[in-house]
Amino acid sequence: MKRFLLGFMCALSLAIAPGCGGDDDDDGSSDGSGADAATGGADAFCTQFSDVCGFTDWFGDMAGCVSDFNGFDADRQTCVAEHLGFAAGEAEGSAERDMHCGHASGEAPCD
């Protein structure tokens, strides 16, 4: 059920912000899971970010994530949510997941 909900949220995110950077691993695929910044808000995004990426290398902790996410404009929130979805679709510990976690933290192309 969690994957279904996350897939739906990512699809919605992709529909409202297709120019955010897309799938940066160049294989054209995405598993469609992720968080929707537009409706989920900072708490939902940061909970998912913690589960997928962890805070060790990004944001520091939940409070830092919420604070930073709330400071992002709507386009950047959509972009980081999209890349969190890409990260969730990659294997744990992979370079691809790490790359998309960086994007989901607000690094380029989501800066």
pLDDT tens figures, 6-63: 444 444 444 433 344 444 333 333 334 343 444 579 999 999 999 999 998 899 999 9
For the chain, how many residues are written? 111
> What mean pLDDT is predicted for residues 96-111?
96
Asked which of 6-10, 14-18, 71-75, 106-110 is least confident by mean pLDDT, the reply is: 14-18
Evaluate whether 103 touches 110 at the Cβ level (below 8 Å): yes
Evaluate whether 7 touches 31 at the Cβ level (below 8 Å): yes
**Rounded distance between C-alpha atoms, residue 106 and residue 59, angstroms:** 10
> What mean pLDDT is predicted for residues 79-86?
96
Nearest to 87 by CA among 76, 101, 106: 101
Given this model, what pLDDT does residue 56 score? Answer: 87
Whole-structure pTM value: 0.67
Given this model, what pLDDT does residue 39 score? Answer: 55
- Count CB neighbours of 27 within 10 A: 8
What's the token pair of residue 34?
Answer: 């992720």
Nearest to 78 by CA among 2, 4, 19: 19
Element (H, E) at 53: none
